Structure 1
């Protein structure tokens, strides 16, 4: 069978969990790759280097390399221009519009959904409140745009035959937005990349994109109050604000090479995270190093971290219940009391539940099941004509 794999964008700056899923799928499925834009096939450091990747008209738009989100109204139109008629199976990796490709009735479409489009659903009001485009006359136009985007998002969900979610949290959001059930298959985490290190140093760590919904400023304000050493690694539009807020006990390192990130993860006393993530791959990576996690108790974190207060024998961290600096301060102080009870090997064992091998087996088995079910439902004897 001929496979096509569709992802939103492939750029050197896009290195999150969704891109790791794409890389892992391509290890096991021989598929042609499609995307809105591609700047990875010309990147010598990328696993996609030299690969033929089909793109859309957005590839040639000004500033596309730094992100096509600025062309948000055009994304649905662009993804619908990809011609996939020659394929039996369409695999989409979607966190925005990839699932919206056009398919024929004889084609099987399986979507690995990392999240329903965040800026159209969960982050609508954050986007409007934190952007100049959300105010005045432009704000009215932006609200109308997001309204139409939600309509298209629901319509395009009907083009998917089977959904996969990266967590039960995401599966609930898929049901809420699209009224579609989804099979949960956790993303792969390359544990071999991270060195298991029981001995820790006296600092806390946060590695994240510096955007508003990640709540990094909340973490900074909490550690300003606590006075404990904190290291922040990452880049994004909030970087100037974070550097302005940070007091002398906080190091803001910006973007760092993978080797530097791994070194800090192995040595940190604890990894701190305040966002409500759909999965949160960084939390698993920290645990792979034997590093405990202090995280907001919502979203995918509830599926990847074990609170020591509820799991005294195998706990791997602590949750804080509200996204406020005051609540995080209390939780970090509680961690100071409980940290001796959290075993590094328990953290590593928890991370081992999310290996690439487990992902490979689950994903390929589900694809086979989907194909058989699709073939059975597509047979003429099962159609009912009214």
Structure 2
């Protein structure tokens, strides 16, 4: 790891910050596999709290990375991230940007291909991001900075050569927010079925006939409290996997049928998917990766009829929807799922539409197209 320095690459990867383990970080790892020699540029990098696979990567950071407590709590860095992003300079023919609000502002010498999870939630969906409309220190800072950040964000978005959207709802949001057209490219599932499964101690649950699984960052808009309250009412076993600022509050809500775990290995996550009854989410998801990961194990999903879940669920074949994030709706959907006879093979086949091979091939094709447009006689090997 080092601060951004003078180097020239054919393809580089950019990401907001590498300080946590989540779906966006899994996408960056997929990008690394698609372009193995590409360095990763980011504002903040904390090896102890993100995926260990990044240790083998060339990570180039902004000057903000020198501030240790910001690496450990990137949300505290919010007032400084626009400044830090404009100081990341990428000297590459092509930069593939993995962004939900910052990395599209990195300064790129060549083309800038943005893979967008959503226009910044903290700017355009502030109350959902913060979980409340009431005044808090975070909301006060956001309100004060919003006029500047929206101007900065629009300039950053319009510096892109090409926009990809993770889902149709994000495609619409990009058009409404930036006035830009984009192409939908679903995120890949990165389930490695060869990883040995590692059992998770669920003895507090006595799951018996199985358990339901909710994997999520513990943020307000993820609505994990809705799922917990529903399973408190149902009395069915629920395993919640995740960390985040809502952790203490959610732990206080969890009844005897709910267990919360965190910092699991990939082998433990795969064990949970393989042994669960179904995946559950009440989140406002821009994509919705966990239903696909569950589907690779033949598991159905019970999810909110919203956003990215509309792209990743085949209703009645791979899962069921509920229409609003309230416990009673989740309870009804769980009961409907329990009354349904699911076809494991059909669910697994659905997951094949979201492979890493398709994702990588489309991005390599885009880089090849940009190479051909800029220098038809010049041929680059894959990075």
TM-score bracket, normalised by the shorter chain, equals 0.7 to 0.9
1:115-134 matches, within 5 Å, as: 115-124=118-127, 126-127=129-130, 129=133, 132-133=136-137
Count residues with an aligned counterpart.
Answer: 355
Q: 1:110, 1:288 → 2: CA distance?
A: 29
Any runs of at least 4 consecutive aligned residues in structure 1 with deviations exceeding 6 A, and if so which? 42-45
| From 84, 95, 104, the counterpart of 1:99 | 104
- The answer for the alignment partner of 1:7 in structure 2 is 15
Equivalent residue, structure 2, for 1:87: 92
- Contact 1:201–1:268 (8 Å) recurs in 2: no
- In the TM superposition, residue 318 of structure 1 has moved relative to its aligned partner by 0.2
Match of 1:228 among 231, 236, 240: 236
Query: TM-score when scaled to structure 1?
Result: 0.85
Q: State the 1:373 CA deviation.
A: 4.5
CA contact (8 A) 1:296 1:320 kept: yes
In structure 2, the residue matched to 1:289 is 297
1:304 pairs with one of 291, 312, 317: 312
Please show how residues 1-386 of structure 1 align to structure 2 within 5 Å.
Answer: 2-11=10-19, 14-29=20-35, 30-40=37-47, 46-84=52-90, 86-103=91-108, 107-124=110-127, 126-127=129-130, 129=133, 132-133=136-137, 139=140, 141-193=141-193, 201-308=209-316, 315-338=317-340, 340=341, 342-373=342-373
Please give the alpha-carbon distance, in whole angstroms, between the structure 2 residues aligned to 1:239 and 1:167.
Answer: 28
Segments of structure 1 that go 5 or more residues without pairing to the other structure are 309-314, 377-386
Q: CA deviation at 1:151?
A: 2.1
Residues 290 and 5 of structure 1, relative CA distance in 2, 3 Å threshold: same
CA contact (8 A) 2:121 2:129 kept: no
Separation of aligned partners in 1, 2:28 and 2:69: 24
Compute the displacement of 1:119 (Å). 1.0
Q: Do the aligned partners of residues 275 and 374 (structure 1) sit closer, same or farther apart at CA in structure 2, a change above 3 Å counting?
A: farther
Task: Give how far 1:22 is off.
Answer: 1.7
Q: 1:57-81 CA distances to partner (integer Å, 9 max, x unpaired)? A: 1111141221322121211111111
* 1:263–1:363 Cα change, 3 Å: same
CA pair 344-156 structure 1, distance change in 2 beyond 3 A: same
Deviation string, structure 1 residues 176-225 (Cα, Å, up to 9, x no partner): 11111111111121343379x9xx94321111111111101011111111
* Inter-partner Cα distance in structure 2 for 1:259 and 1:229: 21
CA separation of 1:77/1:362 partners in 2, compared to 1, >3 Å: closer, same or farther? same
Deviations 1:132-168 (A, max 9, x none): 2267xxx3x5312123212211121111110011111
Aligned equivalent of 1:383: none
SS in 2 for 1:31: coil
Q: CA RMSD in A?
A: 2.5
TM-score, normalising length: structure 2: 0.85
